[in-house]
Amino acid sequence: MPVFALKIHRENTANGGRPYWLEETVELDGHRSILDAIIELKERDGSLGIRYSCRAAICGSCGVRICGRPHLACHTQLDTAQEWAGDGPIVIEPMGNMPVIKDLIVDMDAVHWAKVNRVRPWLVGAQPVPEREYLVDHETMVDITQTQACIQCGSCVSNCMTMEVDPLFVGPAALAKAFRFANDPRDGAARERLLDLAQDPHGMYACTHCFQCIDACPKGVAPMSQIMRMRRAANSDHGIVDDNNGHRHEAAFVENIKRNGLLNEGDLLADSYGGKLSPRFMRVAIQSLPPITKALVRGKIGRDAVFHGHRKHFKDLAGLFDRVSARPKRLELNLYVSGYEDDPSPVRPAVGHAADASPSAPGPNPRKGRAVRA
Amino acid sequence: MPTCDVLVIGAGLAGQRAALAAAEAGASVAMLSKVHPVRSHSVAAAGGINASVDDEDSWEMHAGDTVKGSDYLGDQDAVEVLCQEAPGEIRRLERQGVAFHRNAQGRLDTRPFGAASHNRTCYVADITGQAILHVLYEQVTRSSDQIDRYEEWFVTTLLRDDDGNCTGCVARELRSGRLEEFRAPSTILATGGAGQVFKPTTNAVICTGDGIALAYRAGAELMDMEMLQYHPTTLAVVGILITEGARGEGAHLYNVHGERFMEKYAPNKLELASRDVVARAEQTEINEGRGFPGGTVALDITKVPRKRTLEALREIVNIGRDFAGVDITAEPIQICPGMHYIMGGVRIDVDGASSVPGLYAAGETACVSCHGANRLGGNSLLDTLIFGRRAGVAAAARAREVATAPPTDSAVSDQQKRIDAIGAREHVGPKVPELKEKLGRAMHADVGVFRDAEGLQRAHQTVRDLKEQTARAWIDDTGTLFNQDIPAALELEHVLDIAECITTAAAERKECRGSHFRTDFPGRRDEEWMHHLLVTASPDGDPPRLSEAPVTVTRWEPQERTY
């Protein structure tokens, strides 16, 4: 059996001990999970801390960072982790953005659950409440199943880049949970919820679309997609005009692409704040000078982009916009179902043979391809 | 030293439902759980929950199927309560936000399930348990002014006064190691099942039967402890569950010769016979050399339309891919019977009361007995909610009549001494995990699908030996910060107590009934054995004592059971 080298974050916050690395090896089949390896180490030394329970990626206890990536330990095979680790040991750390209690155990109450509680996390029954069940169509319930599939493991919180710089950001899990209700025809508080999270400067418009949460989610909830859907619902369905300029920025973005074919950063800021002559734009432009300068110096944006703008002519760009806006109903991609609809290939190429009930060899993360389509 | 009207131990479906019902009845509630509530193992229930919501169905049909499924060991008054209250409870959950999937009319859809004469399993894809558990937690959060949550607290003992009433418990906060005495006129045990008595099992690591063992130690009667369910479709080695929903949606079972072997064992219901029948059929095929290498048979889900699989069986698509390397929409997956559920537990009446005054139980911890010798798929989620609610109501009513007991002098210090003694054990001989592993293997080998006197005696002896070694089993962690070794040592004591009750009752019942199949005593023997077996602790704790209780029959007389 292959031998895997593991390097595990250890830390006892009660005695003020400094974190250190535990370096050990385990001998296990490569299709076994990181959790199996940790349990084996735990049998050697029971003081190694990790929450775990179901071993089947449904209870959401064992979120950790494996070679820097947030994952459920039970849901990550040793072979896969070794690929990420290259020639070095498999590095296992507690999740990010949350304080460590002990070893791989983090304080989810302090961050994750506090944020979930922020969004009034229960259904506010739409009136009139029926005597039996609400009458809703099948597709709607299947749609909600995607957000309801969240197991509250915290992987997306661990991976959230916005939360790193803005700890007050409501965050991917809680926003997805909020949309789970706002998108439910049985909820009577959709508008209130959307207004609240549009107005919160750390709410739905604070997300920077980095896709990290989609990548991190072990259940295909795609939190960022839910945040984007929430913005469309706030903006297009409820006409919510927020004080954070989020909706104007989105509208300006769309107009910018329509006009230029490519994003023209030079115009974007001005368009988002009411045009180049608007006093609001002047204020924001001055505030934005330092980051823009920094970005220029570091080569994150080109000079042309800021001063001259760039354009590209796409065939029938205007027609494309017309067709989308002429649709009677907005199409929302739900990965839970429709992400597979026209996909003739298997979810993931099957490996091993049927008689072998062992877990698969590593393969590409099947969620990656779908994330891009979102 | 917290006090409240109703103390709920365990926060899965039964515990949370009980807490909500007690709070609704006006009680102050403390809800303790050794894990965060949404980590509870109810989360893993996949296929659905039964209720006669269809106009052409009836609760009587549901009850009849359940009684037959129980092999006539189910108490029919309890079965009637279970089935009568089901539709109302499901609709209540729906109104609270569970996204039950719908039919063309926008009403609750139902899928076929094992041994059901009508489609009556309501579902949310194949994450029904998770969907309900999270919604109940939302409701508990919403009721925070009445329900205090103690998340990640481990109960070490129940408290009893001189008159034998249960007066609360002592629990240890995992994060700090602090022990607290909780006092309440009513205590509800809802800690789930005891799958960890076995290895492998579909049950989570946390399913160590704590509530059953705590009640047993407090003198409560246990019932039907010999009745354990092996689920027909689990992944070999790891034991992960493949939902019955797969067969409900149309999947077939094949042996190595490509024969759809259920035609032999259950010509009418085929794959949708009751779980004991299907599990036994599979094990027979495997034992007689018609299984695949590694002791499995094939579950072919490609019979289900791909779109339907992706929509309604999404979780097992993931499980197949991630834990077996199989695309279930394209090829069969190898499965075998695996330990899944304990029908037995703390004996309760239909209001959740155990034989100890002030002590209630609900869900898999309890035995009412609505499942008898074999539980139907989709009835366990229902059991947790119906009898969880009833226990909550009854516990709140008792709290209005009975005063909270005064603080004890020594409960906390006694428990502290017990825990310190575990930490002080000499570092020689086996550690805790090693003994637990041995127990699980022994139970699986001899107390599984097929049983006989010799095997049961062997298992019993192993349990006795392990019990003796456990008194010396040592641990690494003696600290107070999130110490997981101490709960593990206490859990080992719990699973051993339960194992002893199981082997004792299984050796006693000399017939085949439901999931209890004795190769040395063929056939069901109603004249001799149509009664429950009760197990209680001896005053000195050793060995368990057996007695009998009659089965309540209301309208379904025992008949020959075929599918």
Phi–psi pair at A240, nearest 5 degrees? -80, 120
Residues in A touching B41 (Cβ below 8 Å): 53-54, 59
pLDDT tens profile B97-152: 999 999 999 999 999 999 999 999 999 999 999 999 999 999 999 999 999 999 99
- 276-315 in B: which are within 8 Å (CB) of A? 292-294, 296, 298, 307, 310-311, 314-315
> What's the gap in Å between the CA of B524 and the closest CA on chain A?
35
**How far apart (Å, rounded) are the C-alpha atoms in residues A9 and A93?**
5
Chain B positions in Cβ-Cβ contact with residue A31 (cut-off 8 Å)? 325
Q: Which residues contact B64 (CB under 8 A, 6 or more apart)?
A: B117, B556
DSSP per position, A235-298: IIIT----TTSHHHHHHHHHHHHHHHSS--HHHHHHHHTT-TT-HHHHHHHHHHHHHHHHHHHT
Alpha-carbon span B36 to B25, nearest angstrom: 25
In the annotation, is B231 catalytic? yes
Cis amide linkage into residue B543, ω under 30° from 0: yes
The confidence score (pLDDT) of residue B283 equals 97
pLDDT at A362: 32
Interface of B with A in 95-114 (CB under 8 A): 95-97, 99-109
User: Which segments of chain B have a pLDDT < 50?
Assistant: none
- Give the torsion through C-alpha atoms of B338, B341, B344, B348, to 10 deg: 180
Quick: pLDDT tens for B186-210: 999 999 999 999 999 999 999 999 9
At A64-118, the pLDDT tens digits run 999 999 999 999 999 999 999 999 999 999 999 999 999 999 999 999 999 999 9
Are the CB atoms for A163 and A174 separated by under 8 Å?
no
Q: What angle do CA B257, B258, B260 make, to 5 degrees?
A: 115
Whether the CB of A338 is below 8 Å from some CB of chain B: the reply is: no
- Are B180 and B2 in contact by the 8 Å Cβ rule? The answer is yes
Q: Which stretch of DSSP H or E encloses residue B393?
A: helix B379-401
Report CA Rg, chain A: 23
A162–chain B nearest CA distance, Å: 26
Shortest alpha-carbon distance between residue A232 and chain B (Å)? 22
Q: What is the pLDDT of residue A305?
A: 67
- Number of CB atoms found within 10 A of residue A100's CB: 18
Q: How far is CA B473 from CA B435, B460, B470, B553, in A?
A: 8, 19, 5, 46
Q: Give the per-residue pLDDT at B148.
A: 98
Unique residue bearing structure tokens 């041994």: B115
Question: How far does the CA of residue B168 sit from the closest CA of chain A (Å)?
Answer: 26
Which residues of chain B lie closer than 8 angstroms to A346, CB-CB? 327, 329-330
User: The tokens 């699908």 sit on which residue?
Assistant: B449
Partners of A5 in the beta sheet? Answer: A25
Predicted confidence at residue B193, as pLDDT, reads 98
* ipTM score of complex: 0.95
DSSP state of B42: G
Is A358 within 8 Å of B325 when comparing Cβ atoms? yes
Per-residue pLDDT band for A260 (boundaries 50, 70, 90) equals confident
Residue tagged active-site, from B247, B389, B390, B444: B247
Give the burial class of A365: count Cβ atoms within 10 A of its Cβ; 0-12 exposed, 13-18 middle, 19 or more buried.
middle
Q: Label residue A308 by pLDDT band (50, 70, 90).
A: low
Q: Is A102 on the interface with B (CB under 8 A)?
A: yes
- pLDDT exceeds 50 at position A373: no
Output the pLDDT for position A372.
Answer: 28
d(CA B458, CA B445): 10
- A355, pLDDT greater than 90: no
Q: Residues A162-188: pLDDT tens digits? A: 999 999 999 999 999 999 999 999 999
- The predicted pLDDT at position A369 comes to 30
From B62, B231, B513, B532, the catalytic residue: B231
The whole-number pLDDT of residue A371 equals: 29
- Is beta strand B333-342 parallel, antiparallel or unpaired with respect to B179-183? unpaired
Which is nearest to B43 in space by CA: A75, A164, A151, A336?
A151
- Best probe of the A interface among B133, B322, B432, B490, by most A CBs < 10 A, is B322
Q: Answer yes or no: are the C-beta atoms of B516 and B503 closer than 8 Å.
A: no
- The pLDDT confidence band at residue A350, using thresholds 50, 70 and 90, is very low
pLDDT at position A307 is: 67
How close A246 comes to chain B (CA, Å)?
Answer: 29
Tally C-beta pairs within 8 A across A and B: 229
pLDDT at res. B424: 96
Confidence of residue A353 (pLDDT cuts 50, 70, 90): very low
Which of A213, A229, A230 is CA-nearest to residue A221? A213
pTM assigned to the model:
0.93
Q: Please say whether the beta carbons of B140 and B19 come within 8 A.
A: yes
B555 in contact with chain A, both atoms CB, cutoff 8 A: no
The region of weakest confidence among A301-315, A318-332, B392-406, B453-467 is A301-315
Partners of residue B434 in chain A, C-beta under 8 Å: 43
pLDDT at A10: 97
Q: Please give the span between the terminal C-alpha atoms of chain A, in angstroms, as a whole number.
A: 40
